Amino acid sequence: AAGVIQSPRHLIKEKRETATLKCYPIPRHDTVYWYQQGPGQDPQFLISFYEKMQSDKGSIPDRFSAQQFSDYHSELNMSSLELGDSALYFCASSLGLAGGKVYFGPGTRLTVT
């Protein structure tokens, strides 16, 4: 079965640079979520989109922005990168309000040097 696809899988950037992470949800899923997991930390919710509209917002820095496109894929844009942004970024998708049952992608590991 098709899963959530994230690209790139690994990304190395320097401080103050910009990064764009992409997420392709499971076909027919209309809801996308972004999570950030720092080293030794639990995943933290960043933001979610339902039917191309922002549905919920968590601890996402103002330097980050995200959107969901007409084909339901989503992009997380990160500017003025800081060392502390180094983390594993997960995207997840679901079909509507799925009772918490969301499917996670493999993650993008971002390293800021």
CB of 80: closest distance to another protein in angstroms?
Answer: 26
- The count of residues in the chain is 113
- Measure the CA–CA gap between 103 and 82, rounded to whole angstroms: 28
CB of 6: closest distance to another protein in angstroms?
Answer: 8
Contact, 29 vs 94, CB < 8 A?
A: yes
Cβ nearer to another protein, comparing 21 with 31 = 31
CB of 43: closest distance to another protein in angstroms?
Answer: 5
Residue carrying the six token digits 């980050």: 64
Q: Residues interacting with another protein, by CB under 8 A? A: 4, 31, 33, 35, 41-45, 48, 50, 55-56, 58, 90, 92, 94, 97-107
Show the beta-strand stretches assigned E in the chain: 5-7, 10-13, 19-24, 31-37, 44-50, 53-57, 64-68, 74-78, 87-94, 103-104, 108-112
CB of 16: closest distance to another protein in angstroms?
Answer: 28
Cβ nearer to another protein, comparing 43 with 61 = 43
Cβ nearer to another protein, comparing 87 with 102 = 102
